[in-house]
């Protein structure tokens, strides 16, 4: 169970051997054979271990363990996983759950501010999904900083911005108490085709002294800069990205398995898919097809709830993080999921993207 949790939560590639290890961990957890801390984390997250999935590892248990290292003391998560005392495990899991709620609150505020900074700095309104953002005034790389940003959450916010704008992104926070440090610590996330660590190396060569420390790999990196050097770094990274990236690389693409036959649009297929092992390098099936948008509304102020007609069949959909309305007919990329209302489980589409007319 610990190997399975660590493999998925740390986004390790699911090659043949890793996928076998995760499958064995899931089998044990579903049978109730797991450390007390893992069981306690399932309870704290409101998830059911008897139907555990890799989604639980990546989006329920993993964030609660990681939150301690971001905002408090990372040894809390370690102790939760190692303890043999069920009572202590429950206590620690509840504590980690509370820290994770605080992390989400901080992240939400930072994310919204980072989005505003990214879009105001470059004189653009939020680009419609599918629009050529290079033509909308957005540079090839984004760097943002705010004195109120929390150092422990910059990586998560950078990842959210990267997903939103399909650009390499660095988010900086002041290193030290109350944002008064003369140094900034930044965390970056990249897109395929842009090696982030190599880009930092080139910035360091072109602008000696700007980067005090840096390291990382192709898709994620970190660096420390002097606070007054942020404008220099911002321009330098954007320049490297403009040289290395073309319009095709800066266009977000989703690989899909194409349309799904109507006979498979049922909850039983969702259950079959959930029992399998998905993750980095072994993605779950994503389908795409043209749908009719019957109705749509915002829920929670930031998610689009949809009533759709797919292959002549009515079906619900949800697009998390999407606020722009869709046209009456549109091609969607989606995964299959199910939700439950008043004891009845129904098929639901988890929308991943849309191909909109230009």
Does one domain contain both 50 and 139? no
Residue 207 has pLDDT above 90, yes or no: yes
Q: State residue 138's pLDDT score.
A: 80
Query: Helix 86-121 and helix 75-82: axis angle, to 10°?
Result: 140
Q: State residue 122's pLDDT score.
A: 60
Between 153 and 38, where is the model more confident? 38
Domain's final residue, options 216, 244, 272: 244
Average of per-residue pLDDT across 35-51: 97
- The token pair at 289 is 């097809």
255 within a domain of the structure (yes/no): no
pLDDT in tens, 221-269: 999 999 999 999 999 999 999 999 999 899 888 899 999 999 999 999 9
Q: How far apart are CA 255 and CA 305, in angstroms?
A: 23
Domain's final residue, options 209, 244, 279: 244
Does one domain contain both 191 and 283? no
Q: State residue 128's pLDDT score.
A: 36
Does one domain contain both 41 and 145? no
pLDDT in tens, 83-127: 999 999 999 999 999 999 999 888 888 888 888 888 875 654 343
Does one domain contain both 223 and 141? yes
Does one domain contain both 83 and 130? no
User: Under a CB-based contact definition with an 8 Å cutoff, are residues 147 and 179 in contact?
Assistant: yes
Average of per-residue pLDDT across 270-299: 94
250 within a domain of the structure (yes/no): no
Domain's final residue, options 183, 217, 244: 244
Does one domain contain both 128 and 237? yes
Does one domain contain both 198 and 91? no
- Using pLDDT thresholds of 50, 70 and 90, give the confidence band for residue 130: very low
What is the CATH classification number for the domain harbouring 9?
3.90.1640.30
Average pLDDT, the chain: 90
Query: Helix 62-71 and helix 2-9: axis angle, to 10°?
Result: 70
Burial zone of 278 (CB within 10 Å; 0-12 exposed, 13-18 middle, 19+ buried): buried
Does one domain contain both 21 and 68? yes
Burial zone of 213 (CB within 10 Å; 0-12 exposed, 13-18 middle, 19+ buried): exposed
Non-local CB neighbours of 97 within 8 Å, separated by 6+ positions: 44, 45, 64
In the sheet that holds 183-189, the strands lie side by side as 142-145, 169-174, 183-189, 220-226, 211-216
- Does this model's pTM top 0.85? My answer is no
Does one domain contain both 294 and 338? yes
Does one domain contain both 297 and 202? no
Average of per-residue pLDDT across 312-318: 94
* HEC per residue, the chain: CHHHHHHHHCCCCCCHHHHHHHHHHHHHHHCCCCCHHHHHHHHHHCCCHHHCCHHHHHHHHHHHHHHHHHHCCCHHHHHHHHCCCHHHHHHHHHHHHHHHHHHHHHHHHHHHHHHHHHHHHCCCCCCCCCCCHHHHCCCCCEEEECCCCCHHHHHHHHHHHHHHHCCCEEEEEECCHHHCCCEEEEEEECCCCCCHHHHHHHHHHHCCCCEEEEEECCCEEEEEEEHHHHHHHHHHHHHHHHHHCCCCCCCCCCCCCCCCCHHHCCHHHHHHHHCCCCECCECCCCEEEEEEEEEEEEECCCEEEEEEEECCEEEEEEEECCCCCCCCEEEEEEEEEEEEECCEEEEEEEEEEEECCC
- The token pair at 294 is 């019957």
Does one domain contain both 226 and 290? no
User: Under a CB-based contact definition with an 8 Å cutoff, are residues 144 and 121 in contact?
Assistant: yes
Domain that holds residue 219: 124-244
- The token pair at 354 is 């849309």
Q: How far apart are CA 230 and CA 201, in angstroms?
A: 16
Does one domain contain both 143 and 181? yes
Number of structural domains in the chain: 3
- Using pLDDT thresholds of 50, 70 and 90, give the confidence band for residue 133: very low
């Amino acid at each position: 169970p610990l190997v399975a949790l660590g493999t998925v939560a740390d986004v390790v590639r699911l090659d043949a051997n890793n996928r076998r290890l995760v499958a064995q961990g899931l089998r044990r957890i579903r049978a109730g054979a797991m450390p007390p801390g893992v069981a306690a984390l399932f309870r704290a997250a409101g998830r059911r271990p008897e139907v555990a999935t890799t989604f639980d590892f990546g989006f329920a248990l993993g964030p609660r363990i990681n939150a301690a290292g971001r905002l408090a003391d990372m040894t809390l998560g370690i102790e939760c996983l190692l303890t043999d005392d069920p009572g202590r495990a429950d206590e620690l899991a509840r504590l980690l759950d509370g820290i994770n709620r605080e992390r989400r609150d901080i992240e939400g505020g930072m994310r919204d501010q980072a989005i505003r900074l990214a879009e105001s700095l470059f004189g653009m309104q939020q680009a419609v999904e599918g629009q050529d953002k290079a033509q909308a005034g957005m540079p090839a790389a984004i760097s943002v900083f705010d004195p109120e940003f929390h150092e422990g959450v910059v990586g998560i916010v950078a990842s959210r911005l990267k997903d939103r704008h399909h650009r390499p992104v660095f988010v900086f926070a002041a290193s030290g108490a109350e944002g008064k440090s003369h140094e900034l610590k930044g965390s970056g996330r990249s897109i395929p085709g842009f090696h982030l660590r190599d880009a930092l190396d080139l910035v360091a060569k072109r602008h000696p002294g700007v980067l005090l420390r840096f390291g990382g790999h192709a898709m994620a990196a970190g660096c420390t800069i002097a606070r007054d050097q942020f404008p220099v770094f911002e321009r330098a990274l954007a320049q490297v990205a403009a040289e290395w990236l073309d319009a095709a690389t800066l266009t977000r693409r989703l690989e899909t398995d194409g349309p799904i036959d109507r006979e498979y649009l049922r909850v039983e297929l969702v259950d079959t898919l959930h029992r399998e092992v998905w993750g980095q390098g072994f993605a779950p099936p994503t389908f795409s097809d043209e749908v009719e948008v019957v109705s749509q509304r915002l829920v929670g102020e930031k998610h689009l709830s949809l009533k759709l007609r797919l292959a002549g069949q009515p079906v619900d959909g949800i697009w998390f993080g999407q606020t722009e309305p869709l046209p009456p007919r549109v091609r969607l990329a989606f995964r299959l999921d199910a939700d439950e209302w008043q004891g009845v489980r129904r098929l639901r589409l988890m929308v991943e993207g849309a191909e909109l007319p230009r």
